[in-house]
Structure 1
C-alpha cells in the first residue's frame, strides 16, 4: 500500500503495557495457543499480542535491522516495511512482507519464517527467506506490494498482491511457498481504469490496493481497498468485495461486473469520524468470521486505529459488517 510514515512520540508502549486503542496500518492476525498476534506496517514490521483481541501489548519488531537483500534491491529503503501477511504451514509461521519506494513500483515481496510467535519460547527466531517476487519500473506495469497468501481447493498456494498501477495480480507459488512456481502462472484479479501510465503519485480512479482472499463455502471472496489512505480528514479509503468459484477469478460484484473491469461492491466506507477505512484482512475464529482494518480517527488527529468487527453473511452469501464499528 502507499503510506505516509507517522512519527508519534507519545504513543510508544512499553513491552508490558496493554492498550485497546492502538495505532496500526494494514493489520493481519493469527492465533497461536491462547494468544492472538497482530502484524502491521512499521519499522521492522510492528507486532502486538493479545489474549482477547481487545487489549494489546506491543512486542519487539520482526526485524531488528533491515534485511540485507532489501537494502540492495530497493533504492532508498531504510527498514520501514509495509503490509505483512501471516499464515501457518508445515510447522512454521510464514510472514510475507513488502518493501518499496513511495509512489513507485520499485518494489519487492519477501518472506520470513518462525517456528513460534511466542517471544518467550526458546524456538522463537525469525529466519528471513529473502525475495519472492519483485516489480521493476518500465519492465512491469504492476507493483509487488500488499501480499496475501491464498490456498485453492487442491492445496495449491497462490500469492495475490498489488497497488494502483495495472491493478491487483495473482501468481502461483511453488509447493514450499518460498518462490514462484515453474512455469510461471499469472492472472489479473482486479483493475480500475487509469490514464497515467508512468506516474503513480496521482492515479485518479485507478486507486486500488490491498487484496485479501477469504474462502467461505463455495466461493473465494476478494476484498480490496479503493481510493486514498493516509490523508487524515481527506482520506477516502473504502473496502470493496467480489467473489468467484475459482481462486483465479473472475471475481464478480453483486451486479455481476468483474473486478478486473472496475467492478466491486462496497462493503464499508468512512464517515465524519472515520473518513477513511480499509486495508482489511478476514479470519474465522471459534465459529465466527471477523474483519480487521485500520480507520483514520478524527477524534485523535486522524491517526490510523485498529478496528475488528464480526462479519456476517446475507441470504445470497455476501459479507456484511455493521457500521456501528465506526461509531465507537
Structure 2
C-alpha cells in the first residue's frame, strides 16, 4: 500500500511539473521594454522592438513568443536619427513594405509637444542595420500637438499612418513606400483627447481601435489601461460597448491593473499561434520590482458579440504557452 501511495504521489508530482512546463509567467522579459511592436519575419522568427530604455531601440527575437534573445539595436550612436537632437526614440512600429522592413519611430524630449515628430528607417533584415530616412513630420509641420505614437496600416490598397497622444488621434495617407506623407493628403481626426498608443486590428467585419488611457510613467502610481472601440470603417466613427463615440472619449477596458501589475498598456500588434489563438504584448509596472516598464503578454479572446477581452481583465501570472 505504501508503494502504491508513493507511486501515485510521484505521478501527481510529475503531472504538476509537466503542467508548469507548459505555462509561461509574466513578465515575459523582466526588463524595461515599453511600447512594444512585433513582426513575424521570413524564417519563422518573431522580432520585437521597444522604446529605447535600451539606447538606440532594442531588438529581440523568438520562435515561440515566450523565449526571447536580445539581438542588438536598430541604430548606433552614429546612425540614430537626429531631427530632435536631444530626443529619445519612442514607440517604434515595425512593418514590411515593398520588400523592406520599415521602422516608423517617434522622437521627442519629455514635454516637447511642439518639437516632437515621427520618422522612418529601413532595413533589408529585421535585425537591421536600419538606415534612417528622416522625419515625416513634426507637430509644427502637421499642426497636431504631441505628434508621437504612430501606427502604420494598409487598407484597400492604400497606406496610412495613425498617430497622436492626448491631443487627439489623427490619420493621414502615406506615399507608396510608406516613407513620407502623400502629396496633398489631408489629416483626419479619428478619436478624442483621452488616448495614445493607437493600434488598429481588422477582424471579420470590424476594425478594432486599441489605445491606452491614463498615466504611463509614474511607477506604481501609473494609471495606464488598455482600451478598445470598434467600427465598420477604418476611419470610424469608433464606438465602445455602450455605444459612446471614441471622438467623445468613449472606451471599453481590455486590460486594467491587478495586485502584481499596474500601468498596463500601449500594446503591440496581435499575432496568432499555430492553433489560431491571438496574443498581444504590452508593458506594465511590476509592483515587486517597479523599475521601468516590463514586457507582458496575454491571450486575447473574443466574446459572443465579437469584443476582445483578456481573462480577468488584467495581466495573467501563469498561463498556458502559445502553440508552436
Tell me the TM-score normalised to structure 1 length.
0.81
1:222-233 pair list within 5 angstroms: 222-233=209-220
> Quick check: 2:160–2:173 contact (8 Å CA) kept in 1?
yes
Tell me by how many angstroms 1:281 deviates. Answer: 1.8
1:276 and 2:263 equivalent?
A: yes
In the other structure, the counterpart of 1:95 is 103
In the other structure, the counterpart of 1:142 is 145
> Quick check: 1:29–1:37 contact (8 Å CA) kept in 2?
yes
> Quick check: 2:31–2:295 contact (8 Å CA) kept in 1?
yes
Structure 1 residues 127 and 263 mapped into 2: Cα distance closer, same or farther (>3 Å)? same
Q: Return the alpha-carbon distance in structure 1 between the equivalents of residues 310 and 78 of structure 2.
A: 37
In the other structure, the counterpart of 1:290 is 279
Tell me by how many angstroms 1:75 deviates. Answer: 5.0
- Give unpaired runs (5+ residues) of structure 2: 1-27, 319-324
In the other structure, the counterpart of 1:301 is 290
Q: Return the alpha-carbon distance in structure 2 between the equivalents of residues 228 and 326 of structure 1.
A: 21
1:120-199 pair list within 5 angstroms: 124-136=128-140, 140-152=143-155, 154-164=156-166, 166-192=167-193
Bigger Rg over Cα = 2
Q: Return the alpha-carbon distance in structure 1 between the equivalents of residues 79 and 139 of structure 2.
A: 18
Q: Return the alpha-carbon distance in structure 2 between the equivalents of residues 158 and 20 of structure 1.
A: 31
Root mean square deviation, CA, Å: 1.9
> Quick check: 2:255–2:315 contact (8 Å CA) kept in 1?
no
Q: Return the alpha-carbon distance in structure 2 between the equivalents of residues 246 and 326 of structure 1.
A: 32
Tell me by how many angstroms 1:292 deviates. Answer: 1.0
In the other structure, the counterpart of 2:112 is 104
Q: Return the alpha-carbon distance in structure 2 between the equivalents of residues 242 and 288 of structure 1.
A: 21
Determine helix, strand or coil for the equivalent of 1:276.
Answer: strand
> How many residues get paired?
284
Determine helix, strand or coil for the equivalent of 1:85.
Answer: strand
Structure 1 residues 231 and 54 mapped into 2: Cα distance closer, same or farther (>3 Å)? same
Of the three residues 52, 67, 88, the one matched with 1:55 is 67
Q: Return the alpha-carbon distance in structure 1 between the equivalents of residues 301 and 174 of structure 2.
A: 31
Tell me by how many angstroms 1:20 deviates. Answer: 4.4
Cα deviations across residues 99-128 of structure 1 (Å, max 9, x unaligned)?
01212211111111111125xxxxx53222
Determine helix, strand or coil for the equivalent of 1:294.
Answer: strand
Tell me the TM-score normalised to structure 2 length.
0.82
Q: Return the alpha-carbon distance in structure 1 between the equivalents of residues 204 and 138 of structure 2.
A: 33
Of the three residues 254, 265, 275, the one matched with 2:252 is 265
> Quick check: 2:106–2:118 contact (8 Å CA) kept in 1?
yes
Q: Return the alpha-carbon distance in structure 2 between the equivalents of residues 23 and 47 of structure 1.
A: 13
- Give unpaired runs (5+ residues) of structure 1: 1-18, 119-123, 193-205
Cα deviations across residues 230-255 of structure 1 (Å, max 9, x unaligned)?
11110000011011111111111111
Cα deviations across residues 187-229 of structure 1 (Å, max 9, x unaligned)?
111213xxxxxxxxxxxxx4x2101111111111110000101
Determine helix, strand or coil for the equivalent of 1:189.
Answer: strand
1:188-267 pair list within 5 angstroms: 188-192=189-193, 206=194, 208-267=195-254
Q: Relative CO higher for 1 or 2, CA cutoff 8 Å, sep ≥ 6?
A: 2
> Quick check: 1:37–1:49 contact (8 Å CA) kept in 2?
yes
In the other structure, the counterpart of 1:200 is none
> Quick check: 2:298–2:316 contact (8 Å CA) kept in 1?
no
1:22-37 pair list within 5 angstroms: 22-32=31-41, 33-37=43-47
Q: Which piece of structure 1 moves more, 318-327 or 141-150? A: 318-327
